[in-house]
Amino acid sequence: MTTIPIPTLPVSKRISRWFGRNIIRIYAVIGFTYLFIPVFYTIAFSFNNAGKSNLIWKGFTFSNWKNPCGAPDVCNALGNSLKIGVLATFVATVLGTLIAFAIGRHAFRGRATTNLLIFLPMATPEVVLGSSLLAMFLTFHINPGFWPTVAAHVMFCISFVVVTVKARIASLDPRLEQAAMDLYANERETFRRVTLPLVMPGIAGAALLAFSLSFDDFIITNFNSGTMNTFPKFVWVSAARGIPAQANVIGSSMFLIALFVVVVGQLVNRKKAR
Amino acid sequence: MAYLQSTVTRTGFFTAKKGRLPYLLLFPGMLWLFTFFVLPIINLAGTSTQTPVASGETGQYVQTFRLANYIDAFNQARPQFARSFLYATLATLLALAISYPLAYAIAFRSGKFKNILLVLVVAPFFTSFLLRTVAWKQILGEQGFVVPALRSMHIIGQNTSLTASALAVVTGMTYNFLPFMTLPLYASLERIDPRTLEASNDLYANGITTFRKVTFPLSMPGVVAGTLLTFIPAAGDYVNAAILGNPNTTMIGNVIDSRFFNIVDYPTAASLSFMLMAAILILVTIYIRRSGTDELV
């Protein structure tokens, strides 16, 4: 029996070929590692038996998770952030969705101006938005605090809602609406039973985005909230003398909750798509 | 999320209708933007030319239309202006270098894991912006793993530290604004028809040529949107500079913030804000024109 010799590449060549083929994947693994290092730190230090200053690892404990409000004022700050976030998200989502329908579904004069007014807040640095609002509130003798902060958050969230919902409206197949009309649905029924349900995932995504922008905002909030504390402000103030581990507990929980919401959203979408 | 990129399709029967409805839909949101964005900017322009009251009371100013405020403010904050634009440019380029391969891998090489990877790429940003920045302070600090590793490899000296430096500020900014780069890049890469890449291959272009001549030009809208969405917040940021920097790495945002709160010098803060906004808008306009992606706005 004769064996046919199989030509083999030298090892070095095979390795370099494997690298050539997988370089993008290797890079992606490194990239994701880089992305998650700070998250790992945030979560790890939520279990740190740290006492006041949570900068150095001192030992493992569950006590921070058992008592997330243990640090003074942290839950008050969190509560304010959640209230502002919910209110701002609701108003910005409604106003932004209305604008998105106007832009996406109607012909009207002043479209260019409208688009510009939507784009400009996104192209303006937060420090300018925040300082200009505070200057105006001061001019009109309005004290910074809860409601000025909500007004500011709605303002910077609207644009993001508009672009997100607008993209969804633009991607709709117009034949679905035509089909509804062919089946004797009038305009209102078509809108309520076909268009709106189809745009809904876009609106939900926009609301999620608005909430996370609002909840995480520091710069504009710092200018317009006066003495009211919010969660990012709490972290900012305590950053100088060491952040209590409870802040890490809250940050980690927000991360897990958001991840959960997004994953559930994806699963719901996939089920609907079937 | 195809921010800034969606073009309006004018199909569908709702388009045909004219009349008052679109204005009714626009009105509440536009009123809000006018009241809390346009009016403050106009008011800011007013504040920027005020001068202190004669009695010299802190925080009290009168309108004197003193345009020289701008020159004074600029001269005071020249290094911070330069640093803001330098750091923001560096952070944007680094973010592009990190995000592009990542977005490419997700768009073309992830198969059925595409959605999971897309969630994972945004997920780190669900933790608080400030907590992330503080985490970098820990990572780059004496107790972190980076400094000892670099020291043992003799890449940095035994006494060199990484925190409280320009390097730390740029690192933090790069990381913090990364999703604003990755998502638009992914959106534009994902839209590329794989057949165009096959066609390039069929025409004997190798991988590098295909990327240079086909993939990259087609992803240009994402590159432009991503660099803008990264550069703008980075140029106005002061959180990274405050937490990760030192007194020699302050940016324009730090100056505006301290003028407002520590010195209550509203006119200087206002003229600095106005100059920052104008500089960014001019840069953005030139950039969009140059790159030929006017559809962004």
Residues in B touching A129 (Cβ below 8 Å): 37, 40
pLDDT at B21 over 60: yes
Tell me which H or E stretch contains B158.
none
From A110-124, A251-265, B152-166, B262-276, the region with the lowest mean pLDDT: B152-166
| pLDDT exceeds 80 at position B185 | yes
Question: How many CA atoms within 13 Å lie on the side-chain side of B88?
Answer: 26
Facing residue for A167 by CB, picked from B6, B253, B273:
B6
What is the predicted pLDDT for the residue at B96? 95
- Nearest chain A residue to B101 by CA distance is A24
**pLDDT of A238:** 86
A184 in contact with chain B, both atoms CB, cutoff 8 A: no
* pLDDT mean over B194-212: 85
Q: Do B123 and A266 touch (CB under 8 A)?
A: no
Closest CA to B218 of B197, B238, B244: B197
Higher per-residue pLDDT: B246 or B162: B246
Q: Are residues B271 and B70 in contact, defined by beta-carbon separation less than 8 angstroms?
A: yes
User: Which is higher by pLDDT, A128 or B122?
Assistant: A128
Angle (deg, nearest 10), helices B178-190 and B166-176 = 40
Picking from B252, B253, B100, the residue whose alpha carbon sits closest to that of residue B178 is B100
- The encoded tokens of residue B104 equal 């490419």
Is residue A30 less than 8 Å (CB to CB) from chain B? no
pLDDT in tens, B35-80: 999 999 999 998 888 888 888 777 788 888 888 889 989 998 999 9
Q: Closest Cα to residue A96, out of A170, A168, A154, A169?
A: A154
Residue with tokens 């407002």: B260
Which string of DSSP letters, residue by residue, matches A164-181? HHHHHHHTS-HHHHHHHH
How confident is residue B1, by pLDDT bands cut at 50, 70 and 90? Answer: very low
User: Among A23, A50, A20, which Cα is nearest to A238's?
Assistant: A50
Distance from CA of B69 to the nearest CA of A (A): 16
Chain A residues in contact with B179 by the CB 8 A cut-off are none
Residue with tokens 């999971």: B116
The pLDDT value recorded for residue A85 is: 95
pLDDT of chain A, 274 residues: tens digit per residue: 566 666 677 788 888 878 777 888 888 888 888 899 999 988 988 888 876 667 777 778 888 888 888 777 888 999 999 999 999 999 999 999 999 999 988 888 888 899 999 989 988 999 999 999 998 998 899 999 999 999 999 999 999 999 999 988 988 888 888 888 888 878 888 888 888 888 998 999 899 889 989 999 999 999 999 999 999 999 998 887 778 888 889 999 989 998 888 888 878 877 776 6
At residue A69, the pLDDT reads: 84
Give the gap in angstroms from C-alpha A107 to the nearest C-alpha of chain B: 6
Cβ–Cβ contacts within 10 Å for residue B26, how many?
Answer: 22
Task: Give the closest of B21, B124, B252 to A38, CB-based.
Answer: B124
In this complex, do A239 and B235 lie within 8 Å of one another by their Cβ atoms?
A: no
Contact B22 A108 (CB under 8 A): yes
Q: Which chain B residue shows the shortest CA-CA distance from A152?
A: B36
CA distance A28 to chain B (A): 5
Range B7-15 average pLDDT:
43
pLDDT at residue B13 is higher than 50: no
Does the pLDDT at position B3 exceed 60? no
Nearest to A255 among B104, B123, B229 (CB): B123
What's the gap in Å between the CA of A4 and the closest CA on chain B?
A: 33
Q: Are A92 and A153 in contact (CB under 8 A)?
A: yes
Smallest Cβ distance to B29: which of A41, A96, A119? A96
CB A122 within 8 A of CB A160: yes
Residue of A nearest to B176 (CA): A35
* Statement: residue B280 has pLDDT above 80: yes
The answer to whether the CB of A161 falls within 8 A of the CB of A210 is yes
Least CB–CB distance from A136: residue in B11, B13, B40: B40
Q: Which of B4, B7, B229 sits opposite A170 (nearest CB)?
A: B7
CB contact under 8 A, A255 and B127: yes
The predicted pLDDT at position B30 comes to 95
- Give pLDDT, residue B287: 86
pLDDT band at residue B12, thresholds of 50, 70 and 90? very low
Chain B interface includes A232 (CB < 8 A): yes
Grade residue B4 by pLDDT with cuts at 50, 70 and 90.
Answer: very low
Q: How far apart are CA B137 and CA A271, in angstroms?
A: 42
Q: What is the mean pLDDT of chain B?
A: 85
pLDDT of residue A171: 84
Contact A236, A222 (CB under 8 A): yes
- Write the single-letter amino acid at B127: T
The kind and range of the H/E element at B82 are helix B78-109
The radius of gyration computed from the CA coordinates of chain B, to the nearest angstrom, equals 23
Q: What is the DSSP string of A196-216?
A: HHHHHHHHHHHHHHHHHHHHH
Nearest residue to B101 (alpha-carbon basis) of B219, B197, B191, B224: B219
pLDDT digits (tens, 9 = 90+) for B74-117: 998 999 999 999 999 999 999 999 999 999 999 888 878 888 88
Residues B5-25, mean pLDDT to the nearest whole number: 59
Contact B22 A102 (CB under 8 A): yes
In percent, the amount of chain B with pLDDT more than 70 equals 92
Tell me the domains of chain B and their CATH numbers.
Answer: 77-296 (1.10.3720.10)
With the C-alpha atoms ordered A16, A21, A23, A25, is the resulting torsion angle positive or negative?
negative
What is the Cα–Cα distance from B277 to B271, expressed in whole angstroms?
A: 10
Distance from CA of B193 to the nearest CA of A (A): 17
Integer Cα distance of A139 and B149 in angstroms: 53
More confident residue, B279 or B3: B279
DSSP codes joined into one string, A94-137: HHHHHHHHHHHH---TTHHHHHHHHHHHHTS-HHHHHHHHHHHH
Element at A39 (helix H, strand E) = helix A11-44
Residue B292 has pLDDT above 80, yes or no: no
Higher pLDDT, B208 or B2: B208
pLDDT for B14 equals 47
Q: List the Cα angle A122/A152/A135 in 5-degree steps.
A: 100
Q: Which of helix, strand or coil describes residue A2? A: coil
A220 contacts chain B (CB < 8 A): no
Q: How far is B97 from chain A (nearest CA, A)?
A: 11
How many other CB atoms are there within 10 angstroms of residue A266's CB atom?
Answer: 14
- pLDDT of residue B228 exceeding 80, the answer is yes
The closest of B211, B234, B233, B227 to B290, measured between CA atoms, is B227
